[in-house]
């Protein structure tokens, strides 16, 4: 905007509204939005959005569109957790065998050593 001769600039005029900082009512805001893309969807989709100080926002979209996909993901997770549990049990069994074998061998060596060194 250019002022013509005889005009004076005044802050807060009608042409330029004064800018005031937004009123903050809290630190963070979390919103959940549940929706369906298709009426045949099993559960639907969930959108989670978190806003901090009205400046930073993070959102995550979780889609559960079909029962078949949901079951496939569940079976994949169960398969992975069974595999991890099996590996853990194998390592735990190997460790326990080592510990028990070490404890069983030590007393037998001591009893044989006591029998060898007898004074008489």
CA 20 → CA 23, 28, 51, distances in Å? Answer: 9, 21, 20
What's the confidence (pLDDT) of residue 22? 59
* H or E segment and range at residue 44: strand 44-52
The answer to the question of residue 31 being in a domain is yes
The answer to the question of residue 95 being in a domain is yes
Return the structure tokens found at 59: 């959102």
Q: pLDDT tens digit string along 55-114?
A: 888 898 887 767 777 788 889 999 999 999 999 999 999 999 998 887 777 655 555 555
- Partnered with residue 118 across adjacent β-strands are none
The answer to the question of residue 17 being in a domain is no
Same domain? For 87 and 103 the reply is yes
* Residues shown for the chain: 120
Q: Which domain holds residue 51?
A: 25-65
The answer to the question of residue 96 being in a domain is yes
The answer to the question of residue 98 being in a domain is yes
Query: pTM here?
Result: 0.38
Q: pLDDT tens digit string along 5-55?
A: 888 777 655 555 556 665 656 788 889 888 888 777 777 788 889 888 878
The answer to the question of residue 12 being in a domain is no
Provide the domain count of the chain: 2
The answer to the question of residue 41 being in a domain is yes
Q: How far apart are the first and last CA of the chain?
A: 119
């Amino acid at each position: 905007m250019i002022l013509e001769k005889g005009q004076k600039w005044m802050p807060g005029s009608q042409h330029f509204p004064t800018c005031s900082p937004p009123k903050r009512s809290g630190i963070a805001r979390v919103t959940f939005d549940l929706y369906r893309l298709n009426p045949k969807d099993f559960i639907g989709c969930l959108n989670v959005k978190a806003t901090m100080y009205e400046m930073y926002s993070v959102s995550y979209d979780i889609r559960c569109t079909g029962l078949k996909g949901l079951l496939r993901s569940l079976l994949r997770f169960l398969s992975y957790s069974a595999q991890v549990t099996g590996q853990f049990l194998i390592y735990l069994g190997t460790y326990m065998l080592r510990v028990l074998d070490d404890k069983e061998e030590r007393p037998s060596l001591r009893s044989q050593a006591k029998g060898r060194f007898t004074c008489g």
